[in-house]
Structure formats: structure tokens, C-alpha cells
Structure 1
């Protein structure tokens, strides 16, 4: 079908054939993944929306797409407002919208392999107000009309060596077994792809930019496990790596295996497992214990091998990023450099390292007004040149075999305005506030979020995204459970206590719609802080990302002495860590970028 309008019409015809008065379309897969394989990109196929979070509802006479504040501009540029109404989350929920818009007495379909159980409960309750019912549909109507839907990846799994993982798969499974004993449970369902990859020390290429493989797992209280993965993805190396303690099955056999757990007590994570898993277990007569996936916290708290690998990956990435920034500064004044050319150059510089396996997400390469679209993705249609007097924002990262990187830099093209410099400096002040924060053990990310926003708030400004997300170890670039973000709302994880060993991003920003965007992002590690005379155990952050911050955009007079001291110390560390990996000309450029600002202010 040539147009998204044609696809919407075809879906409506299919819904009528299946006796449905509506259908809910999430942006996820059977594993509640943030990024999904091409076979599962139903929302993008139907609507044209390419963001990483969103949902839609299709009714006979109207349709709505739901996104949060990160995608306010993007959704309007990609989804036709003639056919779709734009709904903002969390102000409007799908359940709340259905309560007002569902046809009286209607049947609203959903795929139970694509929704969490709590959502099913909320939507069912909301529809009662309309006398309508929520109907589980095993034959997804979008799949019926998506004629050229891609097949799921058949790529084989690869072993993540213990020297990088830091612990054996057997040790991890035994830890889960001990946890199950403490819970009084017989088995745990692992449905999240990164949980499975971490537990079994395997990686894959089934999802773009996230090194995971399509699989399910059951881990038992005796330390053995059942891994459900398509047979063509299994190699002799994988079988040998897993050993006798792991039984292999076809991925399609997972639902049947759940039916065999009658009489057992089974731990299932309600946030990371779909409604169909709960339904299958309960139908079998199993006792379901809704509890967080036991791998989530151990995966978030990195061990020494993972931290060493991450630092090595960051060192490589810093050289590539520094070379890129020098190249942009040289090329942009010519007026011919555009977003796609720039992001391609950065990818090429990263790919000079054989350790790079993929990007960690599609680079956000935004020139001028496109930089104000928080999760912008440049295309041939939207591609802009880096024009003089504008800002250029580049948010990117790499998936190296030993670590995952994520960095954002905003640079001036030509002469920036006074307003741009003011806003940039406020974002920098917020970034420094997080980087230098010291806080007691037990502190949540939601308690720190306002540190980053205060300089913007003082000018009546803000940004509509979280300040920091967790990052995996050659796994998901967005990894829970920790976050630095406002409590509640769309940013789950703000209530998770921060612990030493967790890696987060530090990325405040400012976005002026139609004009420019600013974001400064480094990754930081939660570490113990020793304070003389302290009456509590304290934590702080160690910065892990090293690349120069554009001095042309800094209003030095706005910075306190402490802020200036942090910036100069940071740049000194950038030069010390990155300089040895550069050629003479590149090093000379970096030295100029990293010279102390304090010297200039005191001159």
C-alpha cells in the first residue's frame, strides 16, 4: 500500500471483518522492548511515526496517536493530522481516551502479546463507561493487512566472553535460583531480551542498535534453565557455552511450556512481561508471583569487568567524537555540510574500530530548527544544511563489544546569538550540577532531577524529557531501573534508589521550537564518596564521557568559580585521555578547545 491513509483504510476494513470496532496499536514487541525488530514495527508501518515511544488507537470514524513531550514536534511532522488526532501523554492516556471515544457497546481489540496486564485492566475498566468490551485478538489485524511484513531475524546468537561479562552464566543462574528459593518460587519467567542476553552471556543482532536475540527463558530454583530460541539461531559454540544446565527449545514452544507449569509458583515481572504470559500461567493453574525480574538490579550495578570494558569503549569513542567535532568546525563554514553527511562521517569514524558492532541508536543529527525536535531523525526529506548563525546538535553512540556509549554535543555554526549562549550556559550549569552532586545512599533520581533544571527555571524555561537514563554494558542504551527524571508521569524509574556501580546519562537540554535545540550529555557512574566527618554513607558521580564542550557558546560571567573550576578540570581530563589517541594536528586543535577558561577570565 502506497500511503499511510491507504493502510489505515485497509486496517479498518480488516477490523470490520474480525467484528471489531477498534484496535490498539502499541510500539513494542512480545518482550516489551523499547526498540523493536523490523517485523514488529506495526505503529511505524501504520502511521509513519518513527519515534521510540508511542501508541495509537483506530476506531471506525477516528484515530488517535499518543506520544509524550519528547515527540511533540516529531509526531506532527511524520503523522498526517488529517487522519490522526495528536494526544499528549501523560495528560491523556489510551484508557482515558477510549472512555470518551469508544463506540457505545463496541468491541475494542488488542493483541495480548503486545500489552502489559495492568494496561489491560485499566482499559477494560475504562470501556465499561461506554458499555464496550476489550477483546483479546490472537490474529493481529495489522499483520493481516501488512502484505510485505518482514520476517523475524534469523541471525545466530554469539557468546559474550566471561572476560567482558565479568561473571559466568552458571553463576548468574545460581544467583537467580537462590533468589527464587527466597521468594518461595519454583521458576522465573525472563521475557525481556536484555535480561536474557545478560543472564546467559549471549548477544544477538535481532533488534537494530540493541545487541539482543529474540528468545524467552525459564530459570528454575535448581539453577537450570530452559531457553526458547529459534533453532536456526543456535550454533555449536552456543550449545557448548550454555552447557548441560540449559535446555534448548524452539521459541514457538514457549507458550506450551507455560501450560506445563500447573501447580508451580512462578515469578513474573508485570512491567517486562506481556498479558498473554500471565493468562497462560493462570490457565494452567500456576501460582503467579508478580515481582521484578531478578536480573534487573544486578544488571544495572556493573561489575569491575563491565566497568573496565565501558571505560575502554569510552576512550575509543572519545577519539572518534573529538575527530568529528574538529571536522565539523572545519567543514561547516563552507555552507555545504548537511545533517546526513555529518552523521555518516561520525559513524565512519566510529567504524574504524573493529570493536564497534553497531550504533547504539540512530544518530540525532539536528541542524537549526531540527535540533529542537528532541528525538529527531534526519531523512532525505528533512535533511538541512548547517547554516551560519545556527546551532548543530548531535546525539549519538556506539555499541562496542565491551561497552555502550551515548554522548550529545551542541556546537555553534558561525556566530551564535546572545540568547543561544545564555541558554547553552544554563544547560551547562545544570549539567555541572548533576556531575558534582553529592547525596546520601537511598537517594532517588527524582530527587536530583531539579538540580539540572534550576538554572533554566530561573529564566522561566524547562525541557520536556528526563535528565538521565540508565545505560547497559553492551546492551540497551536505555536501561532501567534507575533514572534521573521528574517523579511520576511518563518517566518510570525516578523512584529507584541510586547505587554505586550504576551508569546513567547526564543530559539536560533546552529547545526553542522552530529555531534551535541544545543538549549536553555525558555518561556518569555512581560511586562512593568519602567525606570527612560525614554522618551518612554518601554517593556521587564519576564522569565517564570525554569530549570538548563548545567554549564559543559559554557565557563565562554566568559561571560561578566552582562551575568554572569543574569545566577547566573536565577539559584537562579530556586532553589527558583523548590527546594520546590523536595525530599532531588533531591534538593541537583539542589543546585549543581545552585551554582553561579561567585563564581568560582572569586575564
Structure 2
């Protein structure tokens, strides 16, 4: 790989040849996914920034990289400050920065990498945007990897719980009701759910990269590399799913002239809208019709999630036992490898659901820290260690964070104070009962209240949706300070992960996954919802300031730990059982 100044200079030369004065480059691919294949890591190649969310803006005399609060510290470490300004995308939005420094510039963009919704801030800022036929980064990335081509495999009914024909029939009914002739899908997770298929084209998420057009008669045109399809998978897809080359997609879109085509302006690239409108189709802007039913897990998927978390709990508890007895003196990287090895003891384990965040001491304060051989830090005595990880199992996806004290001395009072405030917020959210129709935004304050009382906060969301052997970050639900008009519904799985981060010192995050369930109430005669906790692992008692907890919080924690011990201990050896018994001992008896 060439150095950062050379790459930036080469890009500017390419922009001059394209007759534009600047360029915006998001972190993403043609499917607008979070995790992308190596061939689509354009932002990382250009800027060296490897976070999962970000954007670069390039002008002829200056350039900037933007990301959110999870990655600001990471950008400081990775991105060359002599070439790039490193900015918080909320505090200094890219459109605002470009309007300030390139108000009269012609700004190029790749219409296959940005949604129509993503372009709105740039247009509102008065910028002149120019769609480019070829991504200029691709023109200079001479050693760009080849696109992935892994087998596309069926997701059997014992895991999916509902056959594809039924899903497609329901979707087709919705299309007819809305007056649409078809819908374009570019999110491989939506297509995977709809057709009950999985793959391994991108890291951490079992997807097969493809596009689809679903018609109002429930037929599907699937655009996928044919070498991915085995005879068994072709048979699984059935006769109503016709397959085509990805390069055929443009012609098929052009053939929709005169038809009413549904497109999600946030989940599809603007290229689809531009191509359809140029062909004479009527574009109906509407949310991807797979997103909500995919998020509401059916009973089979719910049981699969419980099964995945039971297996995951055994690995996590083995790891936490190892960490307490042998972990000090090992590196952050080795710790992630140990955890992955424990998970691999389950034959159903497939891979991590995201790159594990293994941060000791000050590295734990980097919210989405990713350990590398260059940053690897040895775990030392008497410091805070944060491990955020997850696993993919064929029947469920997991995500868990635990923060532990490495001992042997007692932690400082201020560390225990912060930890306990995070724990109190975690418990408050887990215990919530709320009426049907409540959004995650309305619940977010529960997780922050104890921190706010101490003048503390955290700069990330409190909860995100989780897929069923799909993406570990799944829409449309969330729990956050940012309003999203999607109420929580029974069957959704969402994370509960408040935190606190003191730069240069330590980070704390406590995360369980929650399954939304109907609640039994004695109040008004109206439906309420509550959470079933899926994750099973102890919280570090050494960091809990018990006198800060009320009796209700202590009772919840004791009951949770009793359940952890009951379900996990039979799968541990004698030493592990002894450790877990102590880790799960009632706080009320302390």
C-alpha cells in the first residue's frame, strides 16, 4: 500500500480528469452494508481509518475524515493528521464542512455508494453534486482485491421458522395494496431473510452479496454470481426465483419503464432511483418491506436465539474464569483469540458477529477500539478491562459486553461509582414495562439516569436490533437519544448497553441482549411489553458499590445471577463451577 499523501495526490489527479473539484466517499459498498468485503474497503484504503462508520471529503486544497463518537479516538491513532482533518460528523457534518471550504465546487460522488437520503444534507447545503460513472478510488487502487464468491447456502426451516413462499406472498400482498408492480432490494440481509439463504461474502455477517427485484405476483429476479449457487441451492430457491448475472441488473431496471417500482430511499443507493427514472419508471419511495418482519422474530427464531445464547454463555463464562485466573500478563489480542477458541468448542459456532473489542486500561476508553498487533497492550494487575464480542450460530446471533477488574487490589471508589451507575442504568432498562407503541427513544433515559445524576454520560446509542443468524446491528428498532419512529414490538431482539468512558484511563460497558415480550400487568386493560433477558454471564462483583443499589436492583441482580448459575454451571468443569458459584453469589448475602 502506498503512503497516505501519495494516495490523496493520486485521487486529486483523477478528480481533475473527471472535471470535478472534490469528492465524497462513504464507508460502505453498493449494498450500503455495515460490514463489507475487502474489495469495498475504499475508505480504509484511502485514509487508513478502519471504523465501521465514516466518510471522507476531499477538495483540491484540503481533505477531512468524519466519524461519530465511537471512533474519534481511533481516528486520532489511524489517520494521518498532516493529510486529513479528523472531525466528529455530528459536531461538524461533512456537508457543512464542504459548504464552508468548497461552496462553489463541483463535488463528485459514486451514486452506487450513497442513498438518496444520504445526499439530502449536501443538497440542502447548496452544493453542486456530480454523479460519477466510475468511482475514482477504484481507478487508482491498483491492488484492489477481487469480489468475494462464496457458496450461497439454504437456511432450513428448523432455523428460519417460515418458508420463503409464505414470506414472498405476504410481501407481494403489500405491494399490490400499495399499488406497486415490484420492489427493488439491494440489502443482502433482506434478501437472505426473504429467500431463506445465507452466505459468507462479507466478514462477520452470513450474507451472499446479491440484488433482487420482487414482483407483485411473488416472483423474484435474483442478481447473483452464478458460481455461488450449488444445484441444491437452486432447487431450494424454487422455480419462482429466476437468477441472473449482476451485470444484467441495469437492463432489467430499464425494462421496468412504465411500471411503478418501490425503492427504499435510505436502504438503496440513489443509482437505482436515477436509473429507474431515466428509464421512465415511476419510483415509489417506501421502506424496505423486509426490514420490519425480519426484525420481529417468529417463535422458532426466538427459540434459536435462546439456544445461541446458552451456548455463548458457556464460552463467555469459561473465558471470564480464564481471565481471572490466567489473563493478567497476556495481550488484548491473545484474549480475543482465547475467547474465540472457547466459542469454537461449540460445534455449531460459525464466526464472530463483529470484531471483538478488547480494551485494557486506557484502550477501553476507545468506544469501538479494535486491537491490532501495533496497539496490543498487555493486561496488567489492578485495572479495568472491557471485552465486547459476539458470535454467529446457525440459529442465532449474540452480542455481549462485560467489564472486569483485574485485581488483586480493590478498585478505586471512583471506578466502582462509575461501574455501578452503568449497572443501575442497565438494570433499569432491563426491568422496563412499557405500553405497546413505545419507541426506543422513550426508554433511553432509563439507561442514562443514574449516570446523569453523577454528571456522567456516554456518546453512543443504548440499544440496537439483532438479526437471526444475520447482522449483529439490525434495524429498524433502536434505543437512543435520537428519535426513530419505530415502536418496539414483541419478537424484536435489542441490546441493552449503557457505558461510561474516561479518556486515558478506562472504559465501562455492560451489555445484554433483550427479547421484547408481551407483559403481564395488573394495571390498565391495554397491552404492555417487557424484556426477556437472553444473555447469561455474571457482572463483576468487585466493581459493584452495593450501597449505591436499592433493594429492587439487588433483587434483580441476585435473580439474574441465580439464573446464570443454574443454566451455565452444568456445562463447566469443577473449577469453572466453583468460580461461577462465587461470581453469582447473592449480593444480599454480601
TM-score when normalising by structure 2: 0.98
**1:542-594: CA deviation from partner (whole Å, max 9, x where unpaired):** 10000011000000000000000000000000001111111122111101111
Report how far residue 75 of structure 1 moved.
1.0
Measure the CA separation in 2 of the matches of 1:120 and 1:85. 21
Q: How does 1:168-207 map to 2 (within 5 A)?
A: 168-207=163-202
Out of 238, 246, 250, the position equivalent to 2:241 is 246
Is contact 2:439–2:488 with CA below 8 Å preserved after alignment? yes
Structure 1 unaligned residues grouped into runs of 5+: 489-493
Q: How does 1:87-98 map to 2 (within 5 A)?
A: 87-98=87-98
Measure the CA separation in 2 of the matches of 1:14 and 1:478. 35
Counterpart of 2:395 in structure 1 is 402
Measure the CA separation in 2 of the matches of 1:120 and 1:309. 39
Counterpart of 2:366 in structure 1 is 373
**1:82-116: CA deviation from partner (whole Å, max 9, x where unpaired):** 11112212222222211111163x22110000011
Counterpart of 2:109 in structure 1 is 110
Report how far residue 331 of structure 1 moved.
1.3
Counterpart of 2:524 in structure 1 is 534
**1:468-496: CA deviation from partner (whole Å, max 9, x where unpaired):** 000000000000000000024xxxxx331
Measure the CA separation in 2 of the matches of 1:173 and 1:599. 55
SS at match of 1:218: strand
Measure the CA separation in 2 of the matches of 1:41 and 1:111. 14
SS at match of 1:356: coil
Measure the CA separation in 1 of the matches of 2:284 and 2:15. 35
Counterpart of 2:491 in structure 1 is 501
Report how far residue 241 of structure 1 moved.
0.3
Report how far residue 125 of structure 1 moved.
4.2
Counterpart of 1:353 in structure 2 is 346
Is contact 1:440–1:537 with CA below 8 Å preserved after alignment? yes
Out of 564, 577, 581, the position equivalent to 1:591 is 581
TM-score when normalising by structure 1: 0.96
Is contact 2:56–2:63 with CA below 8 Å preserved after alignment? yes
SS at match of 2:345: coil
SS at match of 2:338: helix
Structure 2 unaligned residues grouped into runs of 5+: none
Report how far residue 337 of structure 1 moved.
1.2
Counterpart of 1:466 in structure 2 is 461
- Aligned residue pairs, count: 588
Counterpart of 2:260 in structure 1 is 265
Counterpart of 1:99 in structure 2 is 99
SS at match of 1:52: coil
Measure the CA separation in 2 of the matches of 1:389 and 1:81. 34
Is contact 1:425–1:553 with CA below 8 Å preserved after alignment? yes
Measure the CA separation in 2 of the matches of 1:354 and 1:12. 50
Structure 1, 80-89 or 368-377: larger mean CA deviation: 80-89
RMSD over aligned Cα, in angstroms? 1.1
Out of 326, 335, 339, the position equivalent to 2:332 is 339
Matched, 1:325 2:315: no
Counterpart of 1:120 in structure 2 is 119
Matched, 1:137 2:132: yes
**1:126-179: CA deviation from partner (whole Å, max 9, x where unpaired):** 245xxxx21111111100111110111011101100110001111111111111
Report how far residue 332 of structure 1 moved.
3.2
Is contact 1:25–1:57 with CA below 8 Å preserved after alignment? yes
Out of 356, 377, 382, the position equivalent to 1:384 is 377
Report how far residue 119 of structure 1 moved.
3.0
Out of 396, 413, 419, the position equivalent to 1:418 is 413
Structure 1, 109-118 or 470-479: larger mean CA deviation: 109-118
Is contact 1:23–1:59 with CA below 8 Å preserved after alignment? yes
Measure the CA separation in 1 of the matches of 2:442 and 2:575. 44
